[in-house]
Amino acid sequence: MVSRRLFLPLAATAVVGAGALFYTRPWEKAAPSSAPSSVAVDSAPPPKAPTPTVVNPLLLARDGDRVLGKADAPITIIEYASFTCSHCATFATKVLPQIKKDWVETGKAKLIYRDFPLDRVAYDASLLSRAVAAERYFAFIDALFSQQEKWATAADPRVALSQLARLAGLGSVEIEAAFNNKAVGDAILAERLDGAEKLGVDSTPTLFVNGVKADHGSVESFAKALTAAV
């Protein structure tokens, strides 16, 4: 796992025994009894209704999210990742393709990507990804991770990123505007800050399945977390 500091400032069940009160009216005498009286008391508690699971709103689909899969899929996968994180690239290329095939494409789950840039280069990649058309967004993310070693270590990462962005349909003017979009940049940093302070995200990638942090080290371990959410 990769963890760094951001580069910018930024009921117990209660059982109640029922007691029985026996008494004699004042004007009557109690009849003699040859055997002690006994009263059966059912001490079993009533069944409890299941407690509904409360999911942090940050781990639900929100307006403006780009969603891979059916919007009404019963399982929601939230991924916090950094485009320069090698572990994120491994997850994207080794684990996620099979998860997409078995869970997303079958309508069982939907995937939402959340930016958690660990450095300036990852931040620039996030800026560009937000400028890509919605229908090309996840394909662009796939390209960023699959070609991470090339652009992230280039002499000028912005130039290398711009080349990928052109393949995703952005022109030179749009690319320059994306790099200088302060409003989008602020939203990216706010998303990262929310993840760190409100969800405890301290490394990348961090994945949640229906609000529960999930093991994602292999296809098998992540599929197990998805199955538990069904």
d(CA 164, CA 223): 31
Q: Which two tokens stand for residue 61?
A: 């689909």
Looking at residue 140, what is its pLDDT? 98
Q: Please give the structure tokens belonging to residue 139.
A: 């394909």
Phi-psi category of residue 211: left, alpha or beta, with phi > 0 → left and psi -120 to 50 → alpha: left
The alpha-helical segments, DSSP class H, found in the chain are 86-90, 96-99, 120-131, 137-146, 148-151, 157-167, 172-179, 182-199, 219-228
What pLDDT sits at residue 137? Answer: 97
The mean pLDDT of 138-151, rounded to a whole number, is: 98
Q: What's the pLDDT tens digit per position in 198-207? A: 999 999 999 9
Question: CA-CA distance, 108 to 98, in Å (whole number)?
Answer: 13
**Mean local confidence (pLDDT), 42-69:** 77
**pLDDT reading at 45 higher than 80:** no
- Determine the pLDDT at residue 94: 97
The H-assigned helical ranges of 8-136 are 86-90, 96-99, 120-131
Please tell me whether the overall predicted TM-score, pTM, comes out greater than 0.75 for this model: yes
- Nearest Cα neighbor of 141 from 176, 180, 181, 113 is 113
Does residue 41 have a pLDDT over 90?
no
pLDDT band at 2 (very low <50, low <70, confident <90, very high): low
Q: What is the pLDDT of residue 58?
A: 87
Q: How far apart are CA 204 and CA 85, in angstroms?
A: 7
Task: Dump pLDDT digits (tens) for 77-92.
Answer: 999 999 999 999 999 9
Domains of the chain: 59-228 (3.40.30.10)
